[in-house]
Structure 1
């Protein structure tokens, strides 16, 4: 069952934060065409409602959709800006981003396809796939119990999608703090944004290959065998080893990111503090004093996490490049 939307009182509070954060982002936009809240007000006024309806329908059938949509938006924005390039299919002449190793487990493309079809039926050739993905990511968070925010619109759809970009620009699950910081800095995001947006891991599932080295890849075992990362709580590491036996080939094997993985909350930060961070890139947030203090702050206050998450999402998704309006999100015109 899909989580229920917020009460009006809570939504009003998140909306106030969103407006403040949005003002900062819009004032700082440089390059490309400026995004605006009323971009489709005349040309396609029902576009947002159509996207939300498509996301709601998908979540009702598949609890992994919110995590899938949020991750799609992240991976889109970190490569060539938020231009929908991650949605393009590979062709006989080009291997696209979605087929790169860091994107092998991306899913929920069908939700964007369904939303695009609904919007095209209302206003053909008006709403970009990049904007649909930004709206869908917002809806995925809000419909999972997280904050909502007004999404600035007017992004163009890029025509370039290269598999080579994914390995050089997207940090992997084993990334160190310095590697993560560098990847975020490359797209104009700070160490605070790194911590806050990592909190999106509160939604979703990770495959065994993403954390295999943490549960049996550290040196020190008998006969040269690997042991678990000492930063992991022993009982948690044991549970992960049971979920992911050695030489496991089961396609769907893995673990949920936190015990409330269908709900957007601050449980991710609490897990980190108690030795139950799933990925090495999660644990990396505790290796620097500044980011470790941020983890503690958001573990203690879900409200402060939500407020910061809205601001960081607005900054990340403000990376706007001119482009076309695709008729089909999987191929350029």
Structure 2
């Protein structure tokens, strides 16, 4: 068991755990913590310098849990000895969502070669869902990223309090379960119901630049190549066989992409037929005028018999 993991305790005994929050600036990490610990929302943004700290007590089943919450706010090193990580992004800022991979990579690096991220409970918090008009990261995209890694996922609003209590209660319960189970959390994808290949394919389709890219074929591919690529994706993403978040939308997008590409191929073939040059036929050999005079037999004049002979001259006229 990890040396930083609280030792297994008897039911009913108090437990102390450490939780850290990570994410880009202005995504609402401190606001989420204050909403939960102090039951209030701070509308004025004040950048957290260094590490913000909060303490609270919660009841999980028959056990009292003392929670220390640390907001890292870009601290150079991740605190070690924690049992839970809260990954927060703003649903209205795509770059804050994309940065989650970077935060995980930095955490793994800070933990060192002996650090084990499998002994930590992760929860992904899609914050600021109270502003739907500004949303650019939908629920399917966020949930897919989280569940494909075996992380918990919640949609929250620090301003309205939506999802905050439910998220923390599930978060702490999972941490207590982990501690009571010797520091082991479920293997990623063991309960997700979908594979990493399906999750990666859905993300690739969402980020495709055109229909060709969506099907995974190059422009100019043949009908057979297009249909082959479509069948592979259909088997992988059909809603009857895939329960990954966003699989239904991805499948519809693949169907539409196939239709568009096949139509494009058909139009290209028709245009190639219309603009193709007509085959040149060899003109029959012509005979020059001189050759015609030399080779054409002389014609007999049909009116020579009707011509009158010149009258005889001289003595023949005298008799």
Answer with 1 or 2: which has the greater Rg.
Answer: 2
TM-score scaled by structure 2?
0.25
More strand per residue: 1 or 2? 2
Greater RCO, 1 or 2 (C-alpha within 8 Å, sep 6+)? 1
TM-score scaled by structure 1?
0.25
More helix per residue: 1 or 2? 1
